Structure 1
Amino acid sequence: MATIQTTLRSRKRETERSATVMSTAIIGLGNIGSRLAKNLVTGGETIIVAARTPDEAEEVARDLGSHAEALTVEDAVAKADVIVLAIEFDAIRQFLVTHREALAGKIIVDPSNPIAPDGKGGYRKTIPDEQSSGVLISGLLPARARLVKAFGTLGAQSLEAGANRSPERAVLFYAADDAQAGEVVARLITVSGFSPLRVGGIDQSIRIEVGGDLHEYGQLGKLVSAKEAVSLV
């Protein structure tokens, strides 16, 4: 028993060390990307930011201070171990084609929701109702890249208002097939001011996309604490 416990503690320390040295890039600095960048920097994380134009990334990095570095998209992909694709679903699919070779071995974080304006003041799903953007993106990844679905379960306003909530932190759900990749992203969720809660593998991504039972703009409809969320998962 003692040997098993020692081994488990050793593995935990190895995971924590690997997570600590991993560099994180946020590509796309719209509402979600810029808010996530701010939350991570507030939590003490040093990050890379990249956008369509260098000027946009440099402006965001200046606002964030010394914990943020602006790079081109190509340089961010090359340098980072964890890449958050805070861009639209269709743009992610093209991104994975363009940067396929450079993404091998990386942890890819997908916060996307496959929606578009419906022309009536609302939104419509851009893929069949039974499909998930997380599952589709997973099928497009290059060899050895690992996908985690995260940071897309709340709107930008709730990502701001809910960060570091007290007395009980709000939950950010995530889905991952690879346990270590999931733990790395869970640490980022914690640093960003939320409690991480895994809903299962990537095949459960649809639950944490818009319209899903665990999404703010779905059946859940609100921020929940870890205590409240456990019974939902």
Structure 2
Amino acid sequence: MKRLTRRGTLKALAGACLVASVPVARAAPSLRIGIIGAGHVGSTLGGLWVKAGYHVMFAAQSLDQPRDVAQSLGPLASAGTPAQAAAFGDVVFLAVPYRAIPSLGPQLSPILRGKTVLDATNPYGFRDGAIARIAATDGAGMTTQRYFPGAHVVRGFNSVDMSSIASEAHRTPDPLAIPIAGNDAAALKQAAELVTAAGFTPVVTGDLASARLFQPGNPGFELERDAAGLRAALHVSP
């Protein structure tokens, strides 16, 4: 066994300190995100996720708007059809008018089987017609789930205005809380990761039926609080 001299010991220690001082590169996020809808909601959240290092594909009925959004965000962003975005994403984010859900369901359900669908849509009777009335009665989360029976639907990012999402992302010291609800633990974990990556604190309100708490016309809708304040207002345990 080779015996270290005093000089050799100091040299080894210096080398170890040098290695320790070199910053370790953070791994790029592994989740890919497909966004159905390239308007204000989709582009705002997609921009935050691209900034956080996620690969994001934007989609809409016409490719013009998704392409414009993707080009503005750089190489991590791309554009495609709704079917392509659904196939691309490990998580698929719905950012469309609620009236589009009945037509998107049959089109995308086979592709989304087993995937997390993060649903930010909101039903409004004046705009969305009969489906909005069903969602008001049955709950938007439960209604969306019926149209995507093989997917794991999580409600989230529907209760806070996008102007606040854009201005309050990564605020300190008390991040804005985003309520989320779903039936599948793994899907909730993925949704919580994306809430955190966008610069907010996720607050799980419970199963998918509990998403009614923060849809339009209910106490959690447009409620902007930190995590403790949101839990207190919605009577949700930590």
Q: Which TM class, normalised by the smaller chain length?
A: 0.7 to 0.9
CA distance in 2: counterparts of 1:41 and 1:171, whole angstroms = 20
Report 1:1-233 matches (<5 A).
20-117=29-126, 126-127=132-133, 129-143=136-150, 145-216=151-222, 220=223, 223-232=224-233, 233=236
CA distance in 1: counterparts of 2:181 and 2:228, whole angstroms = 18
1:207, CA displacement in angstroms?
Answer: 0.8
CA distance in 1: counterparts of 2:159 and 2:36, whole angstroms = 18
**Structure 1 residues 138-162: Cα deviation after superposition (integer angstroms, max 9, x where no partner):** 122233x111011111111111112
* Two-structure CA RMSD over aligned residues (Å): 2.2
Work out whether residues 101 and 142 of structure 1, in 8 Å CA contact, stay in contact via their aligned partners in 2: no
SS at match of 1:108: strand
CA distance in 1: counterparts of 2:159 and 2:219, whole angstroms = 10
1:51, CA displacement in angstroms?
Answer: 1.6
**Structure 1 residues 34-67: Cα deviation after superposition (integer angstroms, max 9, x where no partner):** 1111121222222111122122111100111122
CA distance in 1: counterparts of 2:181 and 2:94, whole angstroms = 15
For 1:33, the aligned partner's letter is: G
1:110, CA displacement in angstroms?
Answer: 0.9
SS at match of 1:215: coil
Bigger helix share: 2
CA distance in 2: counterparts of 1:167 and 1:75, whole angstroms = 39
Unaligned runs of 5+ in 1: 1-16, 119-124
Unaligned runs of 5+ in 2: 1-26
SS at match of 2:34: strand
For 1:87, the aligned partner's letter is: V
Alpha-carbon distance change, 163 to 116 in structure 1, aligned in 2, over 3 angstroms: farther
CA distance in 1: counterparts of 2:32 and 2:48, whole angstroms = 16
1:89, CA displacement in angstroms?
Answer: 1.2
CA distance in 2: counterparts of 1:181 and 1:33, whole angstroms = 19
1:116, CA displacement in angstroms?
Answer: 4.4
Q: TM-score if structure 1 supplies the norm length?
A: 0.81
CA distance in 2: counterparts of 1:58 and 1:116, whole angstroms = 31
CA distance in 2: counterparts of 1:85 and 1:158, whole angstroms = 19
CA distance in 2: counterparts of 1:22 and 1:167, whole angstroms = 27
Answer with 98-107 or 166-175: which moved more. Answer: 98-107
Compare CA radii of gyration and give the structure with the larger one. Answer: 2
CA distance in 2: counterparts of 1:108 and 1:79, whole angstroms = 13
